[in-house]
Amino acid sequence: MKIDVLSLFPEMFEGVFGSSILKKAAEKQAVSYKVTNFRDYADNKHSTVDDYPYGGGAGMVLKAQPIFDAVEALKGQGELTPRVVLLCPQGERYTQKKAEELAEEEHLIFICGHYEGYDERIREHVVTDEISIGDFVLTGGELGAMVIIDSVVRLLPGVLGNVDSPILDSYSSGLLEHPHYTRPADFRGMKVPDPLISGNHKKIDEWRMKESLRRTWVRRPDLLDSYELSEVEKKLLSEIKKED
């Protein structure tokens, strides 16, 4: 996968792309990153990328020209047709399903804005997706882009050590993930649940399924509205409701 980022603050991405899973993914050649300062594409002598909004109002608006030219330049560097993602509070709320969708692409371009907003012509004629990572406002789109890129790259084949890891993640299955434990089995009197140390894989799987359902029921019951329960899961959920 090829990932391009348009930002006025490229230095913000150095630590993120040079650390942890994102760094390893690049070393494995599963992905390449490039961050471009779209100020470099401004066509005026002062390299300004924003201007006052027509009709008046508070704040400044990002101009169409620098972003149009920057995206066109990035598109012209390859044969792939990229998805162009605009980070903005008005976009669709980001989900694991969207991450899985974007992970199927070969080229992604992220536009990170600042100031009051974007010239509407950018939305109408440049971008393919508008995404918000939550119902809150950030200073700019950089942190949102980092979140999305991290969640997408970890889904690429060969990036994570265990091929089952992304499949078993919370939200990927439709439910929240079950609790995890590691050694020692008894830490300060707090013990690991018996099924996990029983050696009985059937009991382990049933415990994990039940605890995944329990955690979803307690923390995110809304997820169950769109989740199709199996007969076994219906039975376990019924037990959970009685226990709680």
- Tell me which residues are annotated as active site: 89, 116, 154, 169
Rg (CA), the chain: 23
Buried b / exposed e across 182-207, counting CB within 10 Å, b at 16+?
eeeeeeeeeebeebbeeeeeeeeeeb
Instruction: Report CA 125 to chain centroid distance, whole Å.
Output: 24
Query: What count of residues does the chain have?
Result: 244
Helix ranges restricted to H, 161-200: 165-168
Q: What are φ and ψ of residue 34, in 5° steps?
A: -145, 130
List, in order, residues 6 or more apart from 138 with CB less than 8 Å away.
Answer: 144
| Sheet bearing 50-51, strands edge to edge | 50-51, 61-62, 117-118
Q: List the one residue out of 92, 88, 189, 195 whose CA is nearest residue 139.
A: 88
Q: Which two tokens stand for residue 29?
A: 């050649």
CB-count burial class (<10 Å; 0-12, 13-18, 19+) for 112: buried
Tokens for 186, please give them: 């008894």
